[in-house]
Amino acid sequence: MLTAKAMDSTVRTLEDICVPKKFLLVVNAAKKLTEFSPSKNEYGKPSTAVRVGFCLKGAVEVLIGQSLMNDDDLAEKKAKKFLELLEKNWKTHVAVSAHQSMQEKRWNKPDDIPLTKNVMALRDHLRMVEDKARAELEQQLSLTAYKVLNESILAQLIVFNKRREGEASRLTLEAYKKVNTNPINEDIYSTLSPLEKELSKQLTRIEVRGKRGKKVPVFFTHRMMESIQVLLKWRDEAGVPTENPYLFARAGVLTNIRGCDCLRKYAEESKAENPELLRSTKLRKQVATLCQLLDLDEQELEQVARFMGHDIRVHRDFYRQTDKTFQIAKISKLLFAMEQGSSTLTGRNFNTLHPSVSGMYVHTLLFLCTHHVVV
C-alpha cells in the first residue's frame, strides 16, 4: 500500500487500488517492493511476492463484503472485477516468476546436515549441563539452575527425538502426567528381540500435537524423566504460574520456553563444528539421510516416517495404526544408534541394528535379557 502511494499520488486507501484500472499499478508496486529485476526476470524477495498475492485476494474479499453490507453496487462491481483480474492475471505477471526465483534460490543454497560427531558433542554438553544443574537443585532452589535444567532437558528431547522444536516446546504438563501406562501389546511384544524388549521398557512414549494437528510420539529416557521430576518439585517455588499449561514453562508468564533458542544457545556452548547446523530441521534431515545407509524395507521406512510425522501414505495411516510397543522397540534402536555414529548404520535394518544402550554393550544386554537377569 505504501509503495503504491509513493508511485501514484491519487492512491489514498485500499479501495483506491482495488479497482480494475489500478491493477497494473498494483503489479508494478509488488515488483518494486519485492526487488524484481526485469533484466534477469527474477525477484530479490520471491516469497514476499507470493504472499502479496494472497494478501490482496483476502483484502478484496473483505472489500466486497463491506460493499454488500453498504449496498454499494458500484464498489462491489469494481472489486469483483479486480478480483477476477487478480485470479486470472496475477500468476502471469508475478507468481510464476516468483516461484521460479524461489526454486533457484533453493537449488543454489547449500543444504548441509550436521555430522554425527557434532550431534554427539552437543548431546554430551547437554548432559553435562543437566547433571550440574540437577545436582544444585537437589540441594536447594536456584532460579538459574532451574532455568538451565529446563532448557537442557528440552534441547535433549529435541536432539534425541529429532522432533520439530515447536512440538516439543509446547508439550503440556497435563499430557506429560497422562503418560500412557496401558499394558503393552503381548502379541507384538512376543515377536521382539531381547534387545528390543529391553528398549521398550527403557523409554516412555508420549503423544504430542504435531503438524496439521497430527499426533506424533515423543520418547523420554529415564534420565530425562528423573530431571523433569526435579523441575516439577520446584515448579511453584520457581515462580511458574499455576495457570501455565506447559511442561517447559517460563517463570512469571503463561508461555513456554523456545526450543530453537535452547538449541542455538547450547550448540554454541558445545564447541561443536558448524553449530548453526544443530537445529531441529537439520537434525530431521539427518535422519532421512542416514536412513539411506540402512537397508530398510518399505514397512520399516514407513515406521520411521510415521515417527517423524511426515505426510506420506495417508491412506495407510487411516487404515493401519502404529502400535506403541513396536514403535518404541524399533525406532529407539535407530535413535540410539545415531547417537553412536553413522558407522553403526551401514547396510543394516531394524533386525540387524544393535546399538549400545546406557553405556552397556549390546552383547552384555542380550545376555542379561536371555538369562532373565533384571537390569
Q: Can you give the pLDDT at residue 366?
A: 45
Q: Can you give the pLDDT at residue 139?
A: 93
Residues 13, 85 within the same domain:
yes
Q: Can you give the pLDDT at residue 314?
A: 37
Cα 94 from Cα 24, distance rounded (Å): 11
Q: Can you give the pLDDT at residue 336?
A: 77
What is the extent of the structural domain holding 215?
116-370
Instruction: Work out the burial of residue 107: count CB atoms within 10 Å of its CB; fewer than 13 is exposed, 13-18 middle, 19 or more buried.
Output: exposed
pLDDT at 30 over 60: yes
Sign of CA dihedral 302, 218, 287, 348: negative
Label residue 271 by pLDDT band (50, 70, 90). Answer: confident
Residues 89, 131 within the same domain:
no
- Asked if 210 and 164 count as a contact pair (C-beta separation under 8 A), the reply is yes
Place of cell 537390569: 375
pLDDT at 35 over 80: yes
Residues 63, 135 within the same domain:
no
| Tens-place pLDDT, residues 295-337 | 555 666 666 666 666 554 432 333 233 445 555 666 777 777 7
Higher model confidence: residue 178 or residue 315? 178
Cell (9 digits) for 149? 535444567
Higher model confidence: residue 289 or residue 112? 112
Residues 286, 138 within the same domain:
yes
Q: What phi and psi values does residue 278 have, to the nearest 5 degrees?
A: -85, 70
Percent pLDDT > 90 in the chain is 22
Q: Can you give the pLDDT at residue 218?
A: 83
The answer to whether position 357 is within a domain reads yes
Which residues, 6 or more positions from 112, have their beta carbon under 8 angstroms from its beta carbon? Answer: 274, 277, 282
Mean pLDDT, residues 159-167 taken together: 81
| Tens-place pLDDT, residues 234-247 | 999 999 999 999 99
Residues 57, 158 within the same domain:
no
Higher model confidence: residue 153 or residue 208? 153
The answer to whether position 375 is within a domain reads no
Percent pLDDT > 70 in the chain is 78
pLDDT at 273 over 50: yes
> Which of 63, 92, 108 marks a domain boundary?
108
Residues 206, 299 within the same domain:
yes
The number of domains in the chain is 2
Q: Can you give the pLDDT at residue 265?
A: 93
Q: Which of 54-63, 94-103, 173-182, 315-324 has the highest mean pLDDT?
A: 54-63
- Of the listed ranges 5-19, 126-140, 191-205, the one predicted with least confidence: 191-205
The answer to whether position 310 is within a domain reads yes
> Which of 108, 128, 147 marks a domain boundary?
108
Cell (9 digits) for 179? 503418560
Q: Can you give the pLDDT at residue 197?
A: 76
Cα 333 from Cα 225, distance rounded (Å): 19
Residues 302, 197 within the same domain:
yes
Mean pLDDT of the chain: 79
> Which of 90, 108, 126 marks a domain boundary?
108
Residues 15, 139 within the same domain:
no
Higher model confidence: residue 210 or residue 230? 230
Mean pLDDT, residues 36-53 taken together: 86
The answer to whether position 169 is within a domain reads yes
Label residue 360 by pLDDT band (50, 70, 90). Answer: very low
pLDDT at 371 over 90: no
